[in-house]
């Protein structure tokens, strides 16, 4: 019985792994940034296809950025300066291979950008990491 269960579990894990590896669309996340007015976007699994990033306010397109990913095999982080946006609610759309990933976020001149999916993870005054004082290319845990 334990052997059958282990075999079934291994088969499920293997099939999930194969499905994840054969994914044809990018994965994207907005990462926390410790300064107000910046959005840090992590994009992976783009299959070397162009990624289009759009910022919208309601139905109004504010900016559109097409990123050539042919030299970014392992993914990339892109920093967007949105200090010129008024305080309010915005939408960030990431498009790759015909699929669109959408994030809603809020700007407030006194706080860093906040996106709704962080609500159950941390409060909007919490920083997860900061630049290492000795080497600014490295991040260290914020305490």
pLDDT digits (tens, 9 = 90+) for 92-115: 999 998 889 888 877 776 655 655
The angle at the Cα of 117, spanning 84 to 14, to the nearest 5 degrees, equals: 125
Strand partners for 40: 31, 79
Q: How far is CA 89 from the centre of its chain?
A: 17
For each of the domains in the chain, give its residue range(s) and CATH number, in order of start: 24-141 (2.60.40.1930)
**Is residue 11 very low, low, confident or very high in pLDDT (cuts 50, 70, 90)?**
very low
Parallel, antiparallel, or unpaired for β 60-67 and 51-57?
antiparallel
Average pLDDT, rounded, for the chain: 71
- Stated pTM of the model: 0.61
**Is residue 8 very low, low, confident or very high in pLDDT (cuts 50, 70, 90)?**
very low
Q: Where are the alpha helices (DSSP H) in 1-143?
A: 2-21
Specify the 3-state DSSP secondary structure of 39.
strand
């Amino acid at each position: 019985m334990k052997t059958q269960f282990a075999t079934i579990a291994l088969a499920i894990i293997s099939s999930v792994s194969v499905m994840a590896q054969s994914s044809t669309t990018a994965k994207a996340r907005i990462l926390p940034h410790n300064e107000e007015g910046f959005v840090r976007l992590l994009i992976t699994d783009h299959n070397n296809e162009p990624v289009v990033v759009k910022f919208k306010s309601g139905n109004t397109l504010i900016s559109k950025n097409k990123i050539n990913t042919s030299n970014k095999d392992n993914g990339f982080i892109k920093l967007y300066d949105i200090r010129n946006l008024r305080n309010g609610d915005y939408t960030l759309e990431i498009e790759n291979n015909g699929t669109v990933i959408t994030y809603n976020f809020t700007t407030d001149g006194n706080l860093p950008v906040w996106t709704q999916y962080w609500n159950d993870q941390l409060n909007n005054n919490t920083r997860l990491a900061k630049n290492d004082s000795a080497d600014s290319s490295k991040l260290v845990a914020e305490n």
